[in-house]
A and B are shown apart, each in its own frame.
Chain A
Amino acid sequence: DAKTTQPPSMDCAEGRAANLPCNHSTISGNEYVYWYRQIHSQGPQYIIHGLKNNETNEMASLIITEDRKSSTLILPHATLRDTAVYYCIVRVGRNQGGKLIFGQGTELSVKP
């Protein structure tokens, strides 16, 4: 599975949009981009995933560049409860097996 690069930490003001970048320049054509987050001392929580197109759900939006070498997770109105470590992971799709291998992630601090 392709490796990802994320900034180690970011700050965001409460109520503002949080934009978390991820580089995955060696991504293969059959690999998806997944985002999970981990709030302190809890198990990871799924946020969103995508292959080529931009995706949006009730939690966040995922913007994937046309060449698929990078992506951005957007939390449109960050709250204090969004403070967590965010992991960007690339892996093959469900029907092709593939394991979720976690990198170091980005520690997002949402401040009042």
Chain B
Amino acid sequence: GAVVSQHPSWVICKSGTSVKIECRSLDFQATTMFWYRQFPKQSLMLMATSNEGSKATYEQGVEKDKFLINHASLTLSTLTVTSAHPEDSSFYICSARDSSGRGAYEQYFGPGTRLTVT
């Protein structure tokens, strides 16, 4: 089946630094990828939609200057958390939509990245 990877799987950083998370579709092309965050005991919250070669679309209330998204190729999207603070500590999950139109379902999720800001 289609596989989405994320790197790193977990990261600890100091307050004020920036962290980059990569999301890759390993065996399919994805013109559209999605970034979610999830706090403990809560559901996934959609942050933004990333389209290859164009600017990301952010959900209401998500700061685009803080969460920089780059979708430079059909298999890679990155999320950079800039000037991270402890309240940015969360589980970040990406999802990729298969552009080919094949398959019974077109959106696949990565395993998530656990970010802890100290």
Contact = CB atoms under 8 A, between A and B. Distances in A.
* Chains A and B belong together in one complex: yes
Q: Which label, helix, strand, loop or mixed, suits the secondary structure of the A interface?
A: loop
Q: Which label, helix, strand, loop or mixed, suits the secondary structure of the B interface?
A: strand
A94 B109 contact: no
Contact of B109 (A45, A49, A103, A104): A45
B105 A41 contact: no
A18 to B, nearest CB: 20
Given A87-B43, A101-B46, A102-B43, A46 B105 contact: yes
Interface string B30-51: 0000101000000111100100
Contact of B112 (A42, A46, A87, A102): A42
Interface residues of B, number: 24
Interface residues of A, number: 22
Interface of A: 34, 36, 38, 41-46, 49, 57, 85, 87, 94-95, 99-105
Contacts, number: 50
B43 A105 contact: yes
Given A41-B112, A46-B105, A94-B101, A104 B43 contact: yes
B107 A100 contact: yes
Nearest to A103: B43
B109 A102 contact: no
